[in-house]
Chain A
Amino acid sequence: MADPILSVRDLKTQFFGPEGIVRAVDGVDFDVYEGRTLGVVGESGCGKSVTARSVLGIVDRPGRVVGGSIMLRPAGGGPAIDLARLTNEEMRKYRGPEIALVFQEPMASFSQHYTIGNQIGEGIKLHMGLDERAAKKRSIELLDMVGVPQAARRVDDYPFQLSGGLRQRVMIAMALSCDPRVLIADEPTTALDVTTQAQILDLLRSLQQQKGLAIILITHDMGVIAEMAHDVSVMYLGRAVETGTVKEIFEAPRHPYTRALLRSIPTVLAKPRTRLPTIAGSIPHPFDRPKGCSYHPRCAEIIGAVCETAEPPAVDTDDGRQVRCFLHGGMEAAKAGVAA
């Protein structure tokens, strides 16, 4: 495989609130490749959205990136740039032309006071230096590309005049307006109906094939991951607990959380009225993150006197996967840590 476009190492993002520090993202590693989709999956509070926002440098106060690197390989070659070290001003150059974001809730992410053409055109004028007319022409092309019918007429619509599915298409058009190489899609279909979801996922796939986009797809839905992702990173309370190819993760999950999560998903393939295997308890509040492995209070395969106290390191397994669980290695390091 070629070098990754984006390489994130030991990313840490924390929120400094009046009640204490929340370690929303606590040492996340991943690589994103051209033409491939990395699926980041997890339940609420696992830090998947904060990870996306950290990459783009748009973490809201009182949060900020406190450690790690976000290396972007520039389009023209040359040394990689660490986005985590850029000022907000410098970061602007990369947001849009290099990395773009599709938000979950299209209604909340558009301004209601400008036409969609106006909002798509804004980035184009800023980054590509086009004038008003050329920007509008490009907006229409983009709307056409994402399958908005009668694009030349729709370009003058306001967001409230569009349905949820169309709004999400416009959002994708806007994200693609400056030809980014990396697209981050944060729950792009969660607010949509299933038939509309199928349309949007198809669109993302075909755009990826046309343009060789690298996509980071953030979702809570394992079904969407199975369908879209090439590589998967499963997150729990701010950490990637397991990373591998989609086939590996679904067919032979290693981490007890991944295994339990996959078993607990309702599916249309199940027998009617079957009880689902569950994960005991609920996700802890970020202020009371459990000591040791943060999954240990819910884990069915807990190793006594180890998991409660020591944090499992990320271990590369022989098949190229990364797992954070003492069942799959890292015990020596933990013992050494205890001894020291």
Chain B
Amino acid sequence: MSETILEVRDLKKHFPIRRGLLRRVVGQVKAVDGVSFSIRKGETLALVGESGCGKTTAARCILRAYAPTGGSIKFKVEGREVELAGLKRRELRPLRRHIQMVFQDPYSSLNPRMVVGDIIGEPMLINGMSDAVARRRRVEELMELVQLPRAYYNRFPHAFSGGQRQRIGIARALSLNPSLIVADEPVSALDVSVQAQILNLMLDLQDQLGLTYLFVAHDLSVVKHVSDRVAVMYVGRIVELAETEALFERPLHPYTEALLSAAPTPVPGAVSNRIVLEREIADPANPPPGCSFHPRCRYATDVCRQVLPELQEAEPGRLVACHRAKELSLAGVGAAEHVVA
């Protein structure tokens, strides 16, 4: 097993709710509330969940776009281990090049006034690569890597389709040879036929360059195609973490089961025994006592309503936060061959 490059422990990010004339703090939105996971070199860990589950907030804490409220983020870089959680802006500066981001919306994440070559080369310029010739050579190399014709070097982003723009975003993220790439919903704004191209590109680049991805997404089918391991989040916490195949075939948490069952599959008549969750996602400012999922869980018992379940190892390599994980036998989705007509 390869080495761990990122180790997140008990990460918390609470946003204060302020009210009234004096802006007094009247509550906390616990967007991320005790999240732990690690990422190994060369793997893809997916962080999945529905809106408001805290997946993006967790990713932004790791990028240190947010200062975490608590917990630790240990990042291995150039042979040493750094604690990112407590660092100041200035101290973070030299480390930023090692964690790069691919954004969700390729229309708003590229500067419309810069040509493609400059967009891709900008991180290198900022990080002290002042030799313009070498920079141009590297940009062209990157363009080739993401399959963009070199001839597009001097074009502006508006001339590109969504898929090509996302290629530009990926090339930019790769420019400094980062050890970790955080991709927040990188394909959710794209059309289906283009989505597949970008997913394949991400897989190919990973094989070629040994990249490590933290892949944040809401779409389980996309996640299945790219990730080695999956962490499912619900109301600020990880409820289940497992290898991709195991999680899909045999989920251990009732929420994972419901998510899998709700994912639309392109097979007519496949929905006969769908689990439709009642009610809505709990409010992270005011989560229910006990397990946050209990009001929607069809297996909930008294203990679920009172005691918050810890994320524990259920089997080797599998973590789950459910009181009843051992006794329940939940339905997954099979590893059937992709439906090709």
User: A: which residues have CB within 8 A of B?
Assistant: 43-44, 163-166, 193-199, 202, 220-227, 246-247, 250-253, 259-279, 282-283
Contacts and interface: CB of A to CB of B under 8 A. Distances in A.
A44 B192 CA distance: 9
A199 B277 contact: yes
Interface stretch (B23-31, B81-89, B118-126, B264-272): B264-272
A263 B339 CA distance: 7
A199 B261 CA distance: 12
Interface string B311-341: 0000000000000000000000111111111
A262 B267 CA distance: 10
Residue with the greatest number of chain A CB neighbours at <10 A, chosen from B164, B194, B219, B260: B194
B244 interface: yes
Interface in B276-314: 276-277, 280-281
A273 B228 contact: yes
A264 B339 contact: no
Contact of A268 (B192, B204, B224): B224
29 contacts: A164-B51, A193-B50, A193-B281, A199-B276, A202-B276, A220-B191, A223-B263, A224-B264, A225-B266, A226-B264, A227-B268, A251-B268, A252-B341, A260-B193, A262-B266, A262-B339, A263-B338, A264-B195, A266-B219, A267-B221, A268-B224, A268-B265, A270-B335, A271-B338, A272-B224, A272-B227, A276-B200, A278-B200, A279-B196
B231 interface: no
Contacts of A261: 192-193
Given A43-B191, A269-B339, A282-B193, 17 more contacts: A193-B281, A194-B220, A194-B259, A195-B50, A195-B259, A195-B277, A196-B280, A223-B265, A225-B266, A227-B268, A251-B341, A259-B341, A261-B193, A268-B248, A268-B263, A269-B334, A272-B245
Nearest to A260: B193
A270 B193 contact: no
B214 interface: no
Contacts of A264: 192-193, 195-196
Contacts of B341: 250-253, 259, 262-263
Nearest to B206: A273
Contacts of A268: 220-221, 224, 248, 260, 263, 265, 333
A194 B225 contact: no
Nearest to A253: B341
Given A266-B224, A275-B200, A221 B264 contact: yes
Nearest to B52: A193
B196 A266 contact: yes
Please provide the 5 A-B residue pairs with the shortest distance between their CB atoms, ordered closest to farther: A223-B264, A193-B50, A276-B196, A279-B193, A272-B244
B11 interface: no
B273 to A, nearest CB: 12
A250 B266 CA distance: 8
A269 B199 contact: no
Interface in B206-249: 218-222, 224-228, 244-245, 248
B203 interface: yes
Nearest to A252: B341
Given A193-B218, A276-B196, A163 B333 contact: no
Nearest to B275: A198
B163 interface: yes
Nearest to A198: B262
Contacts of A274: 225, 338
Interface residues of B, number: 59
A226 B163 contact: no
B274 interface: yes
Interface in B181-208: 191-197, 199-200, 203-204
Contacts of A277: 196, 340
Given A193-B50, A198-B262, A274-B338, A246 B268 contact: yes
B258 interface: yes
Nearest to B44: A273
A294 to B, nearest CB: 14
Contacts of A271: 245, 335, 337-338
B321 to A, nearest CB: 18
B161 interface: yes
Contacts of A250: 266-268, 339, 341
B47 to A, nearest CB: 15
Contacts of B266: 222-223, 225-226, 250, 262, 265, 267
A183 B50 CA distance: 28
Contacts of A278: 193, 196-197, 200
A86 to B, nearest CB: 34
B222 A273 contact: no
A270 B221 contact: yes
A220 B266 CA distance: 12
A273 B267 contact: no
Contacts of B226: 273
A224 B339 CA distance: 15
Contacts of A195: 50, 258-259, 262, 276-277, 281
A309 to B, nearest CB: 24
A223 B334 CA distance: 16
Nearest to B195: A266
B221 A266 contact: yes
A282 B192 contact: no
A198 B274 CA distance: 8
